[in-house]
Chain A
Amino acid sequence: DAGVIQSPRHEVTEMGQEVTLRCKPISGHDYLFWYRQTMMRGLELLIYFNNNVPIDDSGMPEDRFSAKMPNASFSTLKIQPSEPRDSAVYFCASSDWTGGNEQYFGPGTRLTVT
């Protein structure tokens, strides 16, 4: 199993540009989670899906952030317009039907907004 796949691994963009992060969860997993990690705030949950349906998006910082899961094998996190304070590592994770304690994380996308 290839694990959770994220792309791109690194993204450098200018303030005001649109950024799209992509995630492919582990096949057969029902839950998909998007996190943001910074030194100051640690790992924060942004949104999670169950069977492609958004369940809790209370962690999405503001309207500039949106996430979609059009099918069981693909999800996107979009930031438009991007700002320097969005610079962070964004992780996607998936888990099985239990929604459980074990979440499998991807390698992350390191985003730098200049």
Chain B
Amino acid sequence: QKEVEQDPGPLSVPEGAIVSLNCTYSNSAFQYFMWYRQYSRKGPELLMYTYSSGNKEDGRFTAQVDKSSKYISLFIRDSQPSDSATYLCAMKFGKTGANNLFFGTGTRLTVIP
């Protein structure tokens, strides 16, 4: 079993829809939770990160972490065709020196105009 599980999709929504992307994890030692966005034929780029449990909002994007359930989510409001990409969740341990990121396999999202 992978440490980080993510539904690969694909997910297809109409423009303007609210999108919900999710990951589950098994190791309670993860403290940092990130969402990366990867456009086709490009490297991933950081979208948002949160520390421990809670919500974080940045424009149309909201990241949620529920450590008790080992579950993280990314919500995209008013989705746009430019949001079409693969979204990867990633996690990191909190201890000093542990710089490895553990990635989910990614969810491919298509927003239809």
A residues near B, CB below 8 A? 4, 31, 33, 41-45, 48, 50, 55-56, 91, 93, 95, 99-108
Contact = CB atoms under 8 A, between A and B. Distances in A.
Contacts of A55: 97, 99
B32 interface: yes
B46 A102 contact: yes
B100 A106 contact: no
Contact of B44 (A43, A56, A95): A43
A42 B106 contact: yes
Interface of B: 2, 6, 32, 34, 41-46, 49, 88, 92, 97, 99-106
Interface class of chain B by DSSP: loop
Interface class of chain A by DSSP: strand
Contact of B100 (A4, A42, A48, A100): A48
A107 B43 contact: yes
A39 to B, nearest CB: 8
Given A41-B105, A101-B32, A101-B92, A56 B100 contact: yes
Contacts of A95: 99
A100 B31 CA distance: 12
A62 B45 CA distance: 28
A73 to B, nearest CB: 18
Contacts of B49: 101-102
Contact of A103 (B101, B102, B106): B101
The 5 closest A-B pairs by CB, nearest first: A105-B43, A42-B105, A99-B99, A43-B103, A101-B49
Q: Which of A44, A55, A105 has the most CB of B within 10 A?
A: A105
A48 B105 CA distance: 20
Contacts of A4: 43
B104 A42 contact: yes
A94 to B, nearest CB: 11
B44 to A, nearest CB: 5
